[in-house]
Structure 1
Amino acid sequence: MDVPVAANILGTIGAVCWSIQLIPQIVVNYRRHNTEGLQPSMMLLWAVAGVPLGVYNIVQNLNVALRIQPQILTFLSLVTWAQCFYYGKKRSFMACITVVAPLLVGLGAIEVALVFALRAANDRNLGWPLILMAVLSACLLAAGVLTHYWDIYTHRTVRGISFLFVAIDAAGDLFSLISVVFEQRIDILAMVIYGTELALWIGIMICGVVYNFIPWAKKDSKTNHTEELQPVSLHEMPSSTSVFRTASGASGSDTVVTRRAPHRSG
C-alpha cells in the first residue's frame, strides 16, 4: 500500500525531531559535567520502548521515517543513560561502553526477531501480538516521562531537563501524530502512542512555568525595584539550555552578581 506524500513529509519532520531531541540534553550534561535531576530510569525505559515501537511501526508498514524513528530513540537514550552512569555514578568511560554496547546489540536482536515473529502472526490473522507491542511502547514511553513528574512533585521544581529537548521531543510527537492521520488507514494505536507522550510533555512545560518561571519572574521584579545592595545568584535565572535551572540542580560555584544602590550626592 502506497503511503501518501503528506504522511511521509510529516513523518520525516517528526523523525528529524526525534533524531536530534536528546542532543541538547547530551550537550547540557557534557557542559555541566553532571546529570543531577535527569532520571536515568527515563532513559532506560525509552531505550527499551524503542523496541516494541519499532516492531509496531515496521510490521504496520507505516511511513519509512516512522520506522527509523524508534531506532534513533533507542540509540540516543542509551547514550544519555551512559552519561548518567559516567557523571552520576562516577563510572569510567570504558565501564559505560561495556554496559551500553551489549545492551544496544541485545535490543536490536530482540527487535529483529519480534518483527519476523509478528509478521508470521499477521499471516495467521493473530492481531493481539501487534496490539501488545503498541500498548507496551506507549506504557514505557509514558512511564519514562512520568518519572520526572515524581521528581517535580518531590522537589516542587522542574530540574535537570533541557527545555530545548522537551520542545523538540514534543514537536516530534506532534508531527508524528499528524503524519499518522494522513496515512491511508488511520492507525488509532499509533495515535495513542504519540498522543500520550505529547500530552505528558505539555504537562512538563506547564510545570516549568508554574514552579520555575513565575517564581523567578516575581523575584526578579522585586529585585529590580530595590535600591539596596542585594546578591542575586545566577542559577536563579532561567537558562537557555535547561528548564529554568534551580539551586538544587546548579553547582556550588555559582557566580554572584551585586546590584549597587545609586550614589546620592550630599
Structure 2
Amino acid sequence: MAPVWLQALCGGIGTLCFALMLVPQVVLNTRRRSTEGLSWGLVVPWHVAGILFVGVTLAHTQPSWFSALSMFMQVFCCGICEVQMYFFHRVEKGCRRRLLMTAAYTVLTVLSCLACAACYLFFITTGDQLDFILGELVPSILIGLGFFPEFHEFVSSMSIEGYSFGVTFFDVVGSAGNTALYFMREEEPWSERVSEASPFLTIIFMHLILLILAAWVVCHASGKPLKAPSSAPTSEESEASTEVDTAQSTPTVEV
C-alpha cells in the first residue's frame, strides 16, 4: 500500500490541475470575446462524462474523493465554456450580457450538482457490470469522442488558433495524478484499477494525438511555399505604357 502522503499528493495535484484545466481556455475566450476554435461537440460530451463519472465514483464502496472532485471541476468548467459559447454569439457585450451569463453559470452549476446526485442515487442501486458500462466505459467513450470535433477543427482550418494548450497541460498532468492514485490500490486487481482509471487514461491518450496533430498542422502551414511575385504587368501598368507609347509616336507640329 502506498503511503498516505503520496496518495494525498497525487490526488491533490490531480484535483488542482482539473480545477485549473479550462481556466486558460475561459480566459482566452473572455479576452477575445469569442469561442472560436472551441466546439460544442467537445464541451458537451465532457460535461456529460464528468457527471456520470462523479456519480459512479461516489457510489463505490471505496470512493476516490480526489477523482470525484477532479471530475466535478471539469463539469463546472465545461458549464462556464457552454455559457460563453451561447451568449458570446447571441447577446451584445455589456452589463446585460454579464448579468445573463452570471445567472446562467449559477443555474447550470445547480443543475449539474443535481445531475451528479441523481447519478449517485442511481449507481448505488446497480451492480458492478452496469457501473462499469455506464460509469466508466461510457464516460471514456464520450471523452474520446469529444476530441474529434477539435481534430476536425484543426484539419479543416489548418490552424490551431483559438485553442489554449494550457488545457492540454493541466488535463494531462491532472489525469496522470488521478491515474497514479488508482494504480496505488494494491488490494485491487489490475483489471479493476485500469477500468476505474479508464476515463483519465483516455484523456492522456487523446491529448497525445491532439499534440501530434497540432504539430503536423503547424509544420504543414509553415512549409507552404510562398507565391513568387508575378512578372506580368498589371492592367493599370499596361494602360500607362500604352499612353506613353501613343504620346511618343504622335508627331509634334511647330507653328
Q: Give the TM bin, normalised by the shorter chain.
A: 0.7 to 0.9
Counterpart in the other structure of 2:235: none
Which secondary structure state, in structure 2, belongs to the residue aligned with residue 120 of structure 1? coil
Q: For 2:158, which of 152, 156, 159 is the aligned residue?
A: 156
Offset, 1:145: 1.7
Identity %: 17
Looking at structure 1, the residues matched to 53 and 157 of structure 2 have their Cα atoms a distance apart, in angstroms, of 32
Q: Contact between 2:56 and 2:119, CA under 8 Å: does it hold in 1?
A: no
Q: 1:72 to 1:209 in 2, by over 3 A?
A: same
Counterpart in the other structure of 1:109: 114
Q: For 1:198, which of 193, 197, 204 is the aligned residue?
A: 204
Q: 1:28 to 1:71 in 2, by over 3 A?
A: same
Instruction: Provide TM-score, normalisation by structure 1.
Output: 0.72
1:55 aligns with 2:55: yes
Instruction: Provide TM-score, normalisation by structure 2.
Output: 0.75
The more displaced of 17-26 and 156-165 is 156-165
Which secondary structure state, in structure 2, belongs to the residue aligned with residue 88 of structure 1? coil
Deviations along 1:227-260, one digit per CA (max 9) or x if unpaired, are: xxxxxxxxxxxxxxxxxxxxxxxxxxxxxxxxxx
Moved over 6 A (4+): none
Q: 1:83 to 1:3 in 2, by over 3 A?
A: farther
Deviations along 1:110-156, one digit per CA (max 9) or x if unpaired, are: 221221332233xxxx2223112112211222222222112223223
- CA RMSD of superposed structures (Å): 2.7
Q: Which has the larger radius of gyration?
A: 2
Q: Contact between 1:11 and 1:66, CA under 8 Å: does it hold in 2?
A: yes
Counterpart in the other structure of 2:65: 64
1:89 aligns with 2:100: no
Looking at structure 2, the residues matched to 74 and 26 of structure 1 have their Cα atoms a distance apart, in angstroms, of 14
Looking at structure 2, the residues matched to 128 and 43 of structure 1 have their Cα atoms a distance apart, in angstroms, of 27
Aligned residues between the structures: 217
Looking at structure 2, the residues matched to 9 and 191 of structure 1 have their Cα atoms a distance apart, in angstroms, of 17
Offset, 1:66: 0.9
Could you tell me which runs of 5 or more consecutive residues in structure 1 were left unpaired when the two chains were aligned: 223-266
Q: How does 1:160-171 map to 2 (within 5 A)?
A: 160-171=162-173
Looking at structure 2, the residues matched to 213 and 53 of structure 1 have their Cα atoms a distance apart, in angstroms, of 37
Amino acid at match of 2:183: V
